């Protein structure tokens, strides 16, 4: 589990094909590696990856074909948001994030408004039902609060600190981003589906 509070901006240094999978070499930048071990989880742009090797401020992780099919940004060298897995004693500054991306959205508006930035994203239609005003959503692993929702589109406001400490500053119109909806919304939806299915039967 993660919180959506980014701890460092790293970089995918290299990518090596391994059959249908990809082996990533990721530069951890200034992320504290003192408590990272082989087998630990690190969120990379919101995608939970397992550390399979760790040395000289870099870690290696395998990305399966299944993960590649539902995420974006793990197949090229560029800056990425990094967050180590949550410990039970940590503060939950953002919201509960699993690192299991639900789908890929597309930026349709990104502009400065007074002291913050207004970001609008078009979500995949099947995810729109889970996005609510004042609810939480992870965009490339960053925990954000939804301000507006209109059909499949939603908007968030980003403060300067978040823009400085994440890769969101590099987004532009047309950029594709990893989205993870609030897991509580998914569970509520499943409970309603289960009740409807059993009422029919």
Query: Looking at the predicted structure, is the pLDDT value of residue 16 above 80?
Result: yes
Q: Is the pTM of this model over 0.85?
A: yes
Query: Looking at the predicted structure, is the pLDDT value of residue 34 above 80?
Result: yes
User: What are 102-139's pLDDT values in tens digits?
Assistant: 999 999 999 999 899 999 999 999 999 999 999 999 99
Region 183-192: what's the mean pLDDT?
Answer: 85
Residue 31 and residue 36: Cα distance in Å, rounded? 10
Query: Looking at the predicted structure, is the pLDDT value of residue 187 above 90?
Result: no
Residue 107 and residue 8: Cα distance in Å, rounded? 23
Q: Which two tokens stand for residue 190?
A: 């499943």
Q: Quick one: pLDDT band at residue 201, thresholds 50, 70, 90?
A: low
Q: Quick one: pLDDT band at residue 80, thresholds 50, 70, 90?
A: very high
Q: Lowest-pLDDT range, 4-13, 34-43, 70-79, 180-189? A: 180-189
Domain ranges of the chain: 8-84, 103-189
Characterize 132-167 residue by residue with b for buried, 16 or more Cβ atoms within 10 angstroms of its Cβ, and e for exposed.
eeebbbbbbbbbbebeebeebbbbbbbeeebbebbb
Residue 197 and residue 201: Cα distance in Å, rounded? 6
Residue labelled with tokens 């609030």: 182
Residue 178 and residue 139: Cα distance in Å, rounded? 6
Close Cβ partners of 15 (under 8 Å, ≥ 6 residues apart): 22, 23, 24, 25, 75, 76, 77
CATH of segment(s) 103-189: 2.40.30.20
According to CATH, the topology of domain 8-84 is Elongation Factor Tu (Ef-tu); domain 3 (2.40.30)
Nearest alpha-carbon partner for 124 in 143, 97, 105: 105
Would you say the CATH fold of 103-189 matches that of 8-84?
A: yes
Residue 61 and residue 38: Cα distance in Å, rounded? 10
Nearest alpha-carbon partner for 27 in 39, 40, 44: 44
- Name the average pLDDT for the chain: 94
Query: Looking at the predicted structure, is the pLDDT value of residue 90 above 90?
Result: no
């Amino acid at each position: 589990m993660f919180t959506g509070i980014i701890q460092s901006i790293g970089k995918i240094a290299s990518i090596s094909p391994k059959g249908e999978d990809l082996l990533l070499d990721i530069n951890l930048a200034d992320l504290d590696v003192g408590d990272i071990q082989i087998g630990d989880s690190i969120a990379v742009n919101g995608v939970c990856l397992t550390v399979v090797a760790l040395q000289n401020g870099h870690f290696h992780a395998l990305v399966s074909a299944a993960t590649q099919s539902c995420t974006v940004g793990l197949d090229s060298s560029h800056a990425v948001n990094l967050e180590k897995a949550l410990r039970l004693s940590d503060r939950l500054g953002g919201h509960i994030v699993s690192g299991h991306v639900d789908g890929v959205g597309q930026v349709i508006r990104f502009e400065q408004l007074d002291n913050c930035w207004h970001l609008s994203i078009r979500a995949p239609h099947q995810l729109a039902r889970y996005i609510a005003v004042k609810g939480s959503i992870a965009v490339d692993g960053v925990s954000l609060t939804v301000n507006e929702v209109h059909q499949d589109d939603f908007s968030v406001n980003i403060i300067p600190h978040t823009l400085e400490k994440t890769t969101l500053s590099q987004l532009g119109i047309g950029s594709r981003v990893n989205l993870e909806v609030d897991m509580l919304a998914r569970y509520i939806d499943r409970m309603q589906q289960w009740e409807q299915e059993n009422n029919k039967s």
